[in-house]
Amino acid sequence: MATEQESQLSALLVPIQDKMLLVPNVTIAELINFEKPNASGDTPEWHLGQLTWREQTIPVVSFEIANGEEYRGDTANARVAIVNGITGQRELSFYAIIVQGIPHSVKLTESEIVKQDEKVGEVEMVAVQAAGEPAIIPNLDKLEKMILDFGLA
């Protein structure tokens, strides 16, 4: 049980293929129904295309492929999570990742997030147990750098 001195983090557990991402709740701007992104030429495999959201064209990426994993395609549960850019780059205010279901909100204290000794992928920072549930804290800085480096913003 958390003491009154422990501050709580409002977070989201975001389902992707075979795992959950743990992110602060301000990371996700909106969750929308899945729509197939418009293909956009010669781009990395993890770039699935572009979509228009609130009159802006934003890149859609597969977290799984960017992480060096297999992306099995869109499922009946697929949704699009619009992600707030965190690096402060004006040209990448938002981007989207395909998620597999609806994220759920959790309130966590620091003591409820326990680092796990698991190997992590290219765009993952650390594996954790968050309130007893296995999750991955993603390296969104690195993912955003990949998007910017390929001129996809």
Residue 1, pLDDT above cutoff 60: no
Which residues on neighbouring strands pair with residue 105, listed in sequence order? 12
Burial class (CB in 10 A: 0-12, 13-18, 19+), 101: middle
**E strand or H helix that includes residue 116:** strand 113-116
Q: Domain extents for the chain?
A: 9-149
For the whole model, what pTM was predicted?
0.92
End-to-end CA distance of the chain: 43
pLDDT tens profile 77-108: 999 999 999 988 889 999 999 999 999 999 99
Give every CB contact of residue 49 below 8 A, 6+ residues apart in sequence.
36, 37, 38, 39, 40, 59, 60
pLDDT in tens, 8-45: 999 999 999 999 999 999 999 999 999 999 987 899 99
Report the CATH architecture of 9-149: Beta Barrel (2.40)
CA dihedral 114, 120, 123, 127 (to 10 degrees): -10
Place of tokens 């389902």: 15
- What pLDDT score does 103 carry? 97
